[in-house]
């Protein structure tokens, strides 16, 4: 039995198509609201239907332009709170600033924690997200947070390729080994790890050492996001130099900044598979790029949160 009254889903401007696909899964209409900027660059939000004591879900990945979409999310939360929503869940398929999760240099911020504080202060009662860059970001929140995994969807996509033997799953660094292990378990494959070195703050990466055997194998690079493409290109080059046969790249979040698509098109990567956690405009859709929808898992998680049943059971096969 639902803990709150009717379920309502609203969207900012970051990725309305994903919000509509989630609503199609839930078999409900997307909630009506206005989210726009005045001529003075101030963001305005108005919810156009009654949400008093409703279970409200606000879908807003923190997509480019990042800071505009953070402000939209915060103002949407505030608007819902002041409209007496029963519960407000921020659905953030892509959590920006996640790489700033620790002080790894002198006198730098922990911006991932700052964004968490802003979301809480605005009035969110809980958060639903997908494939955080680092799991410890969950601890930056003092409200319930559910982190979903895109790995089952990505593994199913590769299984459809019917490549059954000589597979190795590759982590782009030691910190991503757990994500690679989850993929490898679903594909019944070993893992390898490429040690990378990030050069200062210039978004340049050098792959240094390979741990594991990739010779004559089909290699599947697994990462949480594709930014400039530097990490996966360096990883792919290392794999090719060590005798890997075909190289695929699977990543949850297609940031695809700058000339990433062009660079990936020219690389040795055979196929890039991403989810629709972020919008992929036609200009960024290369011939090697495939998109897997996460609307069903987000929709299922929203339904489970609304009805008070287990979200974790979606991934471990349990019932409640």
Is the Cβ–Cβ distance between 23 and 29 less than 8 Å? Answer: yes
Residue 127 lies in a domain: yes
Is the Cβ–Cβ distance between 170 and 191 less than 8 Å? Answer: yes
Residues 122 and 14 in one domain: yes
- Active site annotation includes 37: no
Query: Of all residues in the chain, what percent carry a pLDDT higher than 90?
Result: 85
Residues 228 and 200 in one domain: yes
Residue 269 lies in a domain: yes
Residue, of 79 and 105, whose pLDDT is higher = 79
The CA-atom distances, in angstroms, between 167 and each of 34, 161, 183, 185, 251 are 48, 12, 11, 12, 17
Residues 19 and 124 in one domain: yes
Residue 182 lies in a domain: yes
Query: CB under 8 Å to 230, separation ≥6 — which residues?
Result: 203, 204, 205
Q: Which of 196, 259, 284, 288 is catalytic?
A: 196
Is the Cβ–Cβ distance between 60 and 69 less than 8 Å? Answer: yes
Residue 133 lies in a domain: yes
* Terminal-residue alpha carbon distance, the chain: 12
Residues 275 and 156 in one domain: yes
**What are the tens digits of pLDDT across the range 114-156?**
999 999 999 999 999 999 999 899 999 999 999 999 999 999 9
Residue 30 lies in a domain: yes
Residues 144 and 162 in one domain: no
Residues 176 and 265 in one domain: yes
Instruction: Please name which of 201, 275, 256, 261 lies closest in space to residue 18, comparing C-alpha atoms.
Output: 275
**What are the tens digits of pLDDT across the range 160-208?**
887 777 999 999 988 889 999 999 999 999 999 998 666 555 555 565 6
Residues 181 and 288 in one domain: yes
Residues 299 and 225 in one domain: no
**What are the tens digits of pLDDT across the range 218-231?**
999 999 999 999 88
Question: Which two three-digit tokens encode residue 215?
Answer: 């010779």
Instruction: Please name which of 295, 40, 309 lies closest in space to residue 148, comparing C-alpha atoms.
Output: 295
| pLDDT score at 318 | 47
Residues 139 and 242 in one domain: no
Residues 168 and 250 in one domain: yes
Residues 205 and 284 in one domain: yes
| pLDDT score at 91 | 98
Q: Is the pTM value of this prediction over 0.85?
A: yes
Residue 299 lies in a domain: yes
**pLDDT for 274 beyond 80:** yes
State the CATH number of the domain containing residue 61.
Answer: 3.40.50.2020
**What are the tens digits of pLDDT across the range 223-261?**
999 999 988 998 999 999 999 999 999 999 999 999 999
Q: Which domain holds residue 309?
A: 7-149+295-316
Total number of domains in the chain: 2
Residue 1 lies in a domain: no
Residue 2 lies in a domain: no
Residues 114 and 65 in one domain: yes
């Amino acid at each position: 039995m639902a803990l709150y009254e009717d379920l309502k889903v609203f969207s900012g401007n970051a990725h309305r198509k994903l919000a509509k696909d989630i609503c199609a899964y839930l078999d409900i209409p997307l909630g009506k609201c206005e989210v726009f900027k005045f001529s003075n660059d101030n963001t305005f939000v108005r919810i156009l239907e009654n949400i008093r004591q409703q279970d409200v879900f606000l879908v807003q990945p923190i997509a480019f332009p990042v800071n505009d979409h953070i402000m939209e999310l915060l103002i949407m939360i505030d608007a819902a709170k002041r409209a007496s929503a029963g519960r407000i869940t921020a659905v953030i398929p892509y959590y920006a600033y996640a790489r700033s999760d620790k002080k790894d240099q002198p006198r730098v911020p922990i911006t991932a924690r700052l964004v968490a504080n802003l979301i809480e202060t605005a009035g969110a009662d809980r958060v639903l997200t997908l494939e955080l860059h680092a799991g410890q970001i969950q601890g930056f929140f003092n409200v319930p947070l559910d982190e979903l995994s895109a790995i089952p969807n990505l593994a199913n996509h590769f299984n459809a390729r019917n490549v059954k033997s000589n597979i190795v799953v590759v982590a782009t660094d030691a910190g991503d080994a757990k994500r690679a292990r989850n993929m490898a378990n679903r594909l019944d494959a070993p893992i390898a790890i490429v040690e990378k070195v990030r050069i200062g703050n210039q978004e340049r990466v050098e792959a240094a050492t390979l741990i594991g055997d990739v010779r004559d194998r089909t290699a599947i690079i697994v990462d949480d996001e594709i930014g400039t493409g530097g990490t996966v290109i360096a990883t792919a080059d290392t794999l090719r130099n060590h005798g890997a046969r075909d190289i695929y790249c699977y990543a949850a979040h297609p940031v695809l900044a700058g000339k990433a698509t062009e660079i990936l098109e020219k690389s040795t990567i055979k196929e890039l598979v991403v989810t629709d956690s972020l919008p992929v405009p036609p200009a960024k859709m290369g011939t090697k790029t495939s998109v897997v929808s996460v609307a069903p898992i987000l929709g299922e998680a929203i339904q489970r949160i609304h009805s008070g049943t287990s979200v974790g059971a979606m991934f471990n096969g349990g019932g409640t």
